[in-house]
Chain A
């Protein structure tokens, strides 16, 4: 069965696959995770703020994002952003944002919904005595959150946050709908060009599998370490 497979095609495509494809995938994953975490934490704070309107807005946003398929969001957002930009800035024609910016914004907005639920659980996991002690020392609400509650919530939730980022790493491959050259996109292009679909997709699968596996193993070790500190 493997008799007429040409694995040398992979070797020849390696520079292209990794320098262009993987660099893009990792950049998008990293920036989207960072942005999603910041925006998501803001959403979580809104939901826990006790202000009904703020909480409602954040709740609706999170539910909305979580009930749409990611690929649809990417697709729609890519076509809508230029028009939203035009409407906001009042420009004469739709603003071109580029595929990278568009996909990054989409992933940040989408991931924020998931990260916000994780951070909300993290914040709620901290005993009420902690913010009480911080307040008793004279820290304001914002200082209490910044120096006492959020660092603990983040630390407690770090394994879950990384697991979600591994999922994000795999999900970034969906940017193929915008014909962007991420890792899978690069592999796909080589596969089409050289007519070596089986080899290239097999190789792409192995790479995604390996990276995700190593990261998951790292998460398990991290969990064990956090359990000791606590």
Chain B
């Protein structure tokens, strides 16, 4: 589904953020990307739908080359759902309109059809009653669930999550993770940048550990948590799991 091969990215000639990153995500797989801050994990996931450009290497999504200038990027992105750290709901639109905008303008769905789909998804994330409110009237956890519903409304073939719980108050983390766990169990292909190791243990198939722009470890979940091969991953895990 996602094939990343030898991706390099520089912010300036002397500052390399991604170094020779190669991995892949197959259909139905849930891959968790973790690592210390500044390790390039968010940058890597943003390269997948070309929100961040990169200088060399290739990324293919469902067979389409992301870094080909001839690729119809809006069309490709409409099939790749993305959830952001800071939710990024559109504050001037009601919740239901947040879910309908791209359905109507990008997929060309009729208004009624988009509304029906939007309400179904709001019900699924438990926020049907909030449909007529504005984003600022919702809590962070609710906003992030709306953001997930908004991405799902496009019927994506893969979902990208960029630290979806990092900006949330602790008591709201689980309501978002619950939605994500359900999604994973239904067979959605997911690439998730997160520090939530509980989530990784529960549903991940594979864990990728990044440090200083490199993919240091790319292993099946049990191997990763059982006995990480690299020193850096071991140190990271001992820090993050010691509490």
Contacts and interface: CB of A to CB of B under 8 A. Distances in A.
A138 B136 contact: no
Contacts, number: 66
Nearest to A230: B136
A229 B134 contact: yes
Nearest to B52: A132
Contacts of B102: 134, 137-139
A130 B98 CA distance: 12
Interface stretch (A50-58, A69-77, A148-156, A208-216): A148-156
B84 to A, nearest CB: 6
Given A152-B91, A152-B92, A138 B86 contact: no
A129 B86 contact: yes
A129 B84 contact: yes
Interface size class of B (residues with CB under 8 A): 20 to 34
A138 B91 CA distance: 18
Interface in A147-166: 147-148, 151-152, 155
Most chain B CB neighbours (cut-off 10 Å) among A132, A151, A230: A132
B106 A136 contact: no
A155 B92 contact: yes
Interface size class of A (residues with CB under 8 A): 20 to 34
A230 B84 contact: no
A27 interface: no
A148 B74 contact: no
A54 to B, nearest CB: 21
B84 A132 contact: yes
A102 to B, nearest CB: 37
Contact of A138 (B75, B84, B89, B92): B75
Contacts of A229: 134, 136
B91 A230 contact: yes
Nearest to A148: B90
B154 A135 contact: no
A147 B102 CA distance: 10
Interface string B40-78: 000000000101000000000000000000000111011
A138 B155 CA distance: 12
Given A129-B86, A132-B51, A139 B92 contact: no
A222 interface: no
A143 interface: yes
B57 to A, nearest CB: 21
9 contacts: A130-B88, A135-B74, A135-B77, A136-B49, A136-B80, A137-B106, A138-B75, A139-B105, A143-B106
Interface of B: 49, 51, 73-75, 77-82, 84, 86, 88-92, 101-102, 105-107, 134, 136, 150-151, 154
Interface of A: 127, 129-130, 132-140, 143, 147-148, 151-152, 155, 229-230
